[in-house]
Chain A
Amino acid sequence: MAAVTLLSTRDLCRHFGGLRAVRDVDFDLPQGEIRALIGPNGAGKTTFVSMLCGRIPASSGSITFQGQDVTHLPAHKRISLGMAYTFQITSIFGNLTVYENVALAVQHRLGRDHAALKRETLAALARVGLKARADQVAGDLAYGHQRLLEIAMGLGQEPKLLILDEPTQGLSDGEIEEFIALIREVSANTTVLLIEHNIPVVMALADTITVLNFGEIIAEGTPAEIRANTHVQEAYLGG
């Protein structure tokens, strides 16, 4: 099956002063895949995906999404093209209700259709198990539930590419099981790019794994290949 490439980067770089956080990354993501992006702390994972969705500008290099060069497109336009990003450091509307948080995500896609807005907002909440908490103030939720709310906002956008930055951090074992099931379901019509430190989650979900170290891709392959790769073992998987 020769899949269509949904997103690719060429020579993508990002400097912070003298620090080269991401270096010359060539990356291709076929449509429909669940791709895991792993690497030690500070490897540049968040920096890399932040450039993809436009949260921070690239220092050099290019990004192509659905065949279109999006390197210089502002973030909101990239989101409108079908990207969604859930933050590593929880970023929700703390003073608004859980419902309003997700409704804001859905509204961008549906505009003024009131009935559909309500239906799809509740559906997204139901998928992460937060429907019963719809009327709670989001800032009052437990940390794990705030993480789930972030995911619900991503789902509410119905993106073509869903970028999840360490989504399982702070979730209980039971919630992680549900998360794995949810992402399998979502991946039927969404490409998923998953940054994850929890290796069992990666092994359970990923079609392909990309390993980043010091801002460079040091390996890419199936879970089995990555597990067998000695470079990766040294750099990351507990040596």
Chain B
Amino acid sequence: MKRALPLHLGLIVLLFALQFALPAYHHGNLARIMVMATFAMGYNIMFGYTGLLSLGHAMFFAAGMYGMGLAVTQLGTPVGPAFLIGIAAAFALSLIVGLLALRTIGVAFMIVTLMFSQTLFLTILYFGSITRGDEGFGIKQATRQIMGLDLSDPTIRYFAAWLLFSLTLMGTLWLVRSPLGRVLIAIRENEERARMLGYDTWRAKLSAVLMSGTVSGAAGAAYGVLFGYVGASFAQVPYSIFPLLWVLLGGAGTVIGPLIGALFMFYLIDLSSGVTDAYMLVVGVALVLLTLFAPKGMMGMVRERWLKWLP
């Protein structure tokens, strides 16, 4: 904790300070990236720390987003409480998915999470009369207020995204150094051994799914509130693959990795699409190179080579 705490707090301070230094374009990007990094940190709890590979995390992001959005549009709930409703929806979905999907392991687990996520996507389309289907719906600017603060204002939006990100970062840091976190890592490394040391590995995995899904849902709800849009594309397969990629690139099982991965991928796409139409090719090549030369992701490599203590 001696070295890890200053490092992570330093990162949080740096991100806070950046909002005064960055030009408007990057300022807006970074707010978005911090929300997506929160999504990825949620994903990392299951994949990076517990070794559970989900292919359906879009459903948790979408559950948070639609839970919040529908509360606003259908029930007229203010966005503050609606945000909490979004989190509760993601928690409830995590519980259902956890109880059912954890009966399987390995490839079957991946398929089951994928199917659940597709089911949620189709459900959103099916109830098109209230979800507006593919098209989605906006959250009116006038309603995006908490305690008199206008969440569509870039500075306040940045601050809100920063707050969500920072709480999740510190929460993850605390988790992975807590007794439960160490058990999750033990499960990732050798589940049978963890069980034979007396740990109820099924319960520990369920709590990992609950934390992971709920954090991902909080990111989805925040995204809807801060950017004013709720849409079915967020429930589709790409949004299940993105967090996996971000975590892999940044370093699975590192606290900072998800941010680094999301940041890297965003700017890789942003910069290469400015230069060439074949930007997906550039992205593809970069991903292949990283996988070849830093198979544990960027922070994973940093940990291996220099900072052995990195959590």
Contact = CB atoms under 8 A, between A and B. Distances in A.
Interface of A: 53, 55, 74-76, 79-80, 85, 87, 91-96, 100, 103-105, 107-108, 111-112, 153, 157
Interface string B187-225: 001101111111111000000000000000000000000
B274 interface: no
Interface stretch (B106-114, B118-126, B159-167, B177-185): B177-185
Contacts of B40: none
A183 B197 CA distance: 20
Interface of B: 179, 182-183, 185-186, 189-190, 192-201
Looking at A93, A95, A112, which has the most chain B CB atoms within 10 Å of its CB?
Answer: A93
A107 B180 CA distance: 10
A157 B197 contact: yes
Contact of B198 (A100, A108, A112): A108
A93 B198 contact: no
Given A74-B200, A107-B183, 12 more contacts: A55-B196, A75-B195, A79-B197, A93-B193, A96-B185, A96-B189, A104-B182, A104-B183, A104-B197, A105-B197, A107-B182, A157-B197
Contacts, number: 53
A100 B182 contact: yes
Given A104-B183, A111-B179, A79 B190 contact: no
Main SS of the interface on chain B? Answer: helix
A55 B192 CA distance: 9
B198 A80 contact: yes
Contact of A76 (B179, B186, B195): B195
Contacts of A107: 179, 182-183
Contacts of A104: 182-183, 186, 194, 197
B297 to A, nearest CB: 15
Nearest to B186: A104
Contacts of A75: 195-196
Nearest to B198: A79
A49 B196 CA distance: 13
Looking at B185, B193, B201, which has the most chain A CB atoms within 10 Å of its CB?
Answer: B193
Nearest to B194: A104
Given A79-B196, A104-B197, A93 B182 contact: no
A47 to B, nearest CB: 15
B178 to A, nearest CB: 8
A85 B198 CA distance: 10
Given A103-B182, A112-B179, A94 B197 contact: no
A141 B101 CA distance: 36
Contacts of A112: 179
B189 A93 contact: yes
